């Protein structure tokens, strides 16, 4: 072996191959969300962190029946390689699912992927050269930020409010990026029950956002894993429903069925779809035939719409429990009030740092996701994403009580060290409501 290829000639003590990695590997880092999963798995910790669906509400006997029928009737096919684009029958069912949001298309338009996360990765791979710009809401999905960084994209955030992405902020971001001479490849948006903000893009803004992107020649990547999980009423029709050629739509069964199947999909303009299939085949050859056939069988034989209604009821109850607990224990804070999905976005006083506060939270046996996970530029230091999808209502109440203890403790600590400094003038309101004793 030549000396130039030996690990001893480069690298570090921790990783002798460090200098051999491609430049894009520098974009790979452990996210706050991933780091939390080990903590959240401890039974004594109330996790308000991960966006895990409450799969216990799924009727297991129906899933087991679907698995059995697939193995009895289609076993050799289920255990074999399949099409890189996905099983045609499942793609037909996917069209039925998307029709609920106004999307029309043909079986050939749909590409099945290993979760919508893979579709996000493949599309980024197809479009991004190092230094290209992706426009994304501020905040944005942590998994998307990780993918974009891994392909060395520059992420330019666009401001949001309670009605979703702000069109004027989008115009400003486009002008700012183009004035710098950089190339915008697409706008990434989660219009329904946003992760992490919980807000929904209003109907009037949807049309305005599409008009802006249409006139500026910017592709839209619409990520919609939560759209069917509404509470009081469905969100406005999808962006893809009114714009075929300028929108790539991503969907998933992870939130409306179960993430363990790892089945998602993309529907894209024809030319993009062809490249997407080739990219998928290069990456994994084909998605799991077994998972696809089981989901297809389930959709064919079960009342899947009724099951989604069950999930809606479960999540609405838990959201209401969380908002009630926040109102009782942390009334001076502000938070979003989602009409669907999994998440509440909590804003703390701007002198608090939720990432630095996390070890104290873990000590108090509550976990959350700090806001910095959802910004590419280090923003969100005083924000917290709270997930109500997985813990029971009683656990949610307990978690918010523990979180109140954490926040009050952090404020008391800062006041001790800054009694005569800037904090003394910043904080003018009294302490948050003290929680009752922590009773398990």
Look up tokens 């106004």; give the residue: 102
Q: How confident is the model at residue 428 (pLDDT cuts 50, 70, 90)?
A: very low
Is residue 403 within 8 A of residue 366, CB to CB? The reply is yes
Q: How confident is the model at residue 155 (pLDDT cuts 50, 70, 90)?
A: very high
Nearest in space to 103 (alpha carbons), one of 195, 212, 232, 191: 191
Is the predicted pLDDT of residue 35 greater than 80, yes or no? no
Give the mean model confidence (pLDDT) for residues 6-18.
66
State how far the Cα of 296 lies from the Cα of 313, in Å rounded to an integer. 24
State how far the Cα of 276 lies from the Cα of 122, in Å rounded to an integer. 7
Q: How confident is the model at residue 9 (pLDDT cuts 50, 70, 90)?
A: low
The kind and range of the H/E element at 111 are strand 110-113
Q: What is the pLDDT of residue 426?
A: 37
Q: What is the pLDDT of residue 438?
A: 46
Domains located in the chain, CATH noted: 25-57+306-416 (3.90.1150.10), 60-301 (3.40.640.10)
Long-range contacts of 238-242 (CB under 8 A, 24+ apart): 238/98, 238/101, 238/102, 238/103, 238/191, 238/192, 239/189, 239/191, 239/206, 239/209, 239/210, 240/98, 240/103, 240/267, 241/101, 241/102, 241/103, 241/104, 242/102, 242/206, 242/207, 242/210
Give the pTM.
Answer: 0.90
State how far the Cα of 163 lies from the Cα of 46, in Å rounded to an integer. 30
Q: What percent of the chain has pLDDT over 90?
A: 81
The kind and range of the H/E element at 112 are strand 110-113
Terminal Cα distance for the chain, rounded: 61
CA distance to 344, 391, 412, per residue, from 56 (Å): 22, 11, 40
Q: What is the pLDDT of residue 23?
A: 81
Q: How confident is the model at residue 32 (pLDDT cuts 50, 70, 90)?
A: low
Tell me the per-residue pLDDT of 190-233, one tens digit each, with 9 for 90 and over: 999 999 999 999 999 999 999 999 999 999 999 999 999 999 99
Is residue 340 within 8 A of residue 388, CB to CB? The reply is no
Tell me the per-residue pLDDT of 375-399, one tens digit each, with 9 for 90 and over: 999 999 999 999 999 999 999 999 9
State how far the Cα of 149 lies from the Cα of 376, in Å rounded to an integer. 9
Mean pLDDT of the chain: 90
Is the predicted pLDDT of residue 50 greater than 90, yes or no? no
Q: What percent of the chain has pLDDT over 70?
A: 89
Q: Report the length, in residues, of the chain.
A: 440
Is the predicted pLDDT of residue 164 greater than 50, yes or no? yes
- The helix/strand/coil state of 198 is coil
Q: Which residues lie below 8 Å from residue 346, measured CB to CB, with a gap of 6+? A: 326, 330, 333, 334, 335, 383, 384, 385, 386
Is the predicted pLDDT of residue 6 greater than 70, yes or no? no
Q: What is the pLDDT of residue 149?
A: 95
Neighbours of 408 (CB within 10 A): 17
State how far the Cα of 363 lies from the Cα of 340, in Å rounded to an integer. 31
Specify burial of residue 270 (Cβ count, 10 A radius: 0-12, 13-18, 19+): exposed
State how far the Cα of 85 lies from the Cα of 250, in Å rounded to an integer. 14
Tell me the per-residue pLDDT of 248-271, one tens digit each, with 9 for 90 and over: 999 999 999 999 999 999 999 999
Give the mean model confidence (pLDDT) for residues 55-63.
92
Q: What is the pLDDT of residue 272?
A: 96
Tell me the per-residue pLDDT of 93-129, one tens digit each, with 9 for 90 and over: 999 999 999 999 999 999 999 999 999 999 999 999 9
Look up tokens 């793609």; give the residue: 91
Q: What is the pLDDT of residue 98?
A: 97
Q: How confident is the model at residue 436 (pLDDT cuts 50, 70, 90)?
A: very low
Strands (E), 225-298: 247-252, 264-267
């Amino acid at each position: 072996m030549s000396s130039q290829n030996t690990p001893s000639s480069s690298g570090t003590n921790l990783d002798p191959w460090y200098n051999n990695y491609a430049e894009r590997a520098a974009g790979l880092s452990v996210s706050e969300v991933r780091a939390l999963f080990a903590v959240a798995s401890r039974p004594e910790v109330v996790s308000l962190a991960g966006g895990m669906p409450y799969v216990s509400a799924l009727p297991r006997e129906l899933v087991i029946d679907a698995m059995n029928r697939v193995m009895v009737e289609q076993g050799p096919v289920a255990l074999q390689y399949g099409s890189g684009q996905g099983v045609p029958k499942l793609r037909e069912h996917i069209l039925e699912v998307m029709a609920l949001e106004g999307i029309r298309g043909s079986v050939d338009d749909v590409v099945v992927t290993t979760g919508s996360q893979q579709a996000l990765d493949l599309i980024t791979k197809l479009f991004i050269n190092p230094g290209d710009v992706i426009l994304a809401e501020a905040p944005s999905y942590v998994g998307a930020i990780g993918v974009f960084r891994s392909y060395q994209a520059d992420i330019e955030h666009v401001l949001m409010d309670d009605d979703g992405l702000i069109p004027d902020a989008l115009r400003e971001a486009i002008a700012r990026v183009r004035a710098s001479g950089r190339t915008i490849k697409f706008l990434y948006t989660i219009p329904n029950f946003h992760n992490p903000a919980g807000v929904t893009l209003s109907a009037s803004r949807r049309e305005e956002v599409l008009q802006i992107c249409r006139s500026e020649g910017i592709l839209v990547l619409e990520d919609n894993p939560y759209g069917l999980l509404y509470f009081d009423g469905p969100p406005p029709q999808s962006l893809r429903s009114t714009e075929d050629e300028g929108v790539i739509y991503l969907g998933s069964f992870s939130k409306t069925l179960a993430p363990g199947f790892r089945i998602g999909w993309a529907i894209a303009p024809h030319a993009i779809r062809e490249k997407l299939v080739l990219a998928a085949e290069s990456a994994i050859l084909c998605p799991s035939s077994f998972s696809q056939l089981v989901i297809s069988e389930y959709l064919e034989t079960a009342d899947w719409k009724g099951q989604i209604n069950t999930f809606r009821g479960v999540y609405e109850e838990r959201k209401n429990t969380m908002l009630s607990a926040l109102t009782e224990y942390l009334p001076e804070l502000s938070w979003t009030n989602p009409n669907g999905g999994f998440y509440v976005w909590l804003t703390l006083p701007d002198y608090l740092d939720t990432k630095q506060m996390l070890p104290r939270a873990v000590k108090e046996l509550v976990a959350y996701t700090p806001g910095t996970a959802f910004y590419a530029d280090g923003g969100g230091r005083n924000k917290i994403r709270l997930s109500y999808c997985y813990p029971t209502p009683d656990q949610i109440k307990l978690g918010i009580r523990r979180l109140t203890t954490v926040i009050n403790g952090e404020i008391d600590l800062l006041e001790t060290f800054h009694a005569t400094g800037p904090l003394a003038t910043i904080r003018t309101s009294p302490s948050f409501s003290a929680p009752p004793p922590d009773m398990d």
